[in-house]
Amino acid sequence: MDDQAHAARAMWNQLHDLWTMTPKCQRSLARMDVVLRQARKEIDWYAVLPAQAAQAVLKTYFQAWKNCWEGRAEEPTFKTRIRSVMSVDIPQGRDLHIKRVHRRWGMVNVPKVGRVRFRWTKDLPVGKTGNSDNRITGARLIKDSLGWHIAFRVTTLEPKTVPNTRPEIGIDAGVNLPLALSDGNHQDHGRAPRFPDGTADRDKWLNPDEKAKLLRLEQRAAHRKSFRNPKEKTSKRLHHTYDQIRALRARATRRSIDWQHQTTTTIAKQYGTVVVEALQITNMVKSAKGTLEKPGKNVAQKSGLNRSIAQEAWGRTVTMLTYKTARYGGTLHKVPAPNTSRRCSACGFITPGSREGQATFVCKNPDCGWSGNADWNAARNVLHLYRMGHALIPAAGRAVARRTRGVKPITAR
């Protein structure tokens, strides 16, 4: 499987080189297909990759350019050996021959590999349950630090979506409170984002024993690395230690994604309209180091905040909410993010000094004086912006914001 994944990656890179060197008037899927077929005859190690998987690489590369032309993604780039995700496509479901062995395990046929056992974690339409409306059309093999995994592509006939008439909800994404809802039904994963001294805990998804093991492995890796010369090849022992560290990191990432899936599914089922902020996360996690002429301030604190924001993966949460709300008949809207955490949700005024720390909001307006959780206050402002008609209008693949001046206050509760 490793050989097939490396062959697929090398094929992608050679297609990318050929595409960039070919004049624009001669670029086409048919021409690339002819070159690919000829390359499989001339290059011996291409034979490791099945013909259908090679065609899948070509179609995926061409689709990547279509996504770029239509404004949905950036241009395809060169895939490095270390940082790229190792994967192989099996585009035809008839080659799989899936068989369930017992409750927990199943068998699948991987082309040019043979019969492989996999963990049965979800029902699949095999045997008597498979038909023309409910069948497996292919699979994708992906490798991470925990090993190889297989994801099946299934075509199902689903009933027509019924519009979700449940109430509206505003969501504010934060660090101390991951998802604050405007009705007070906040979603928390129960893991403290920071240590008592204020530093960011980047291993919050690991239990105490796993954190202790990770610390030992990092110390061991640093010790072994100290004996290596700058241009010397990394030893096998150090590589093994790095693999153990990556496995723990992958386990934490898997737990985080699982929590996001469960939480977003619950929100999509309970609410018909979901409103979130249009956050520019890339700008939010920029370093505060500054330049030599103008050095930044509180660089270490900003670095810890950036790590906490990256761990929460707000963009992935919004992506999940987008397709899950549509699946359950709801809609997702975005509103401008500026001043949602600084504006009082009761009187609508922005008064300096109202935000006391990260968790508390106390309105300094003499005529108001409302106080409450800062994230809940921001979530109420998010929902109020949508109700006042300040939602962003998608245009040409991008969001165009309306002005948010003159926002009326929310009726105090």
DSSP string, 177-229: SSEEETTS--B--S--SB-TTS-B-TTTTS-HHHHHHHHHHHHHHHHHHTTS-
CA distances from 284 to 16, 97, 303, 335 (A): 32, 48, 11, 17
pTM of the model: 0.80
Q: For residue 107, what are the β-bridge partners?
A: 99, 117
pLDDT for 127 equals 66
Question: pLDDT digits over 396-408, tens only?
Answer: 344 333 333 344 4
Q: Are strands 273-278 and 331-336 parallel, antiparallel or unpaired?
A: parallel
Measure the CA–CA gap between 309 and 307, rounded to whole angstroms.
5
The predicted pLDDT at position 130 comes to 60
- Give the mean pLDDT of 87-105: 90
Contact 238/221 with Cβ under 8 angstroms? yes
Minimum mean pLDDT among 134-143, 278-287, 324-333: which range? 278-287
Specify the pairing of strand 393-395 against strand 398-400.
antiparallel
Q: Helix and strand tally (H, E) in the chain?
A: 9, 15
The answer to whether residue 141 scores a pLDDT higher than 90 is yes
pLDDT tier at 193, thresholds 50, 70, 90:
low
Q: In what order do the strands lie in the sheet with 355-356?
A: 355-356, 360-362, 371-373
Contacts of 226 (CB under 8 A, 6+ apart): none
Average pLDDT of 176-203?
72
- Encode pLDDT of 228-283 as tens digits: 888 888 889 999 999 999 999 999 989 999 999 999 999 999 999 999 988 887 77
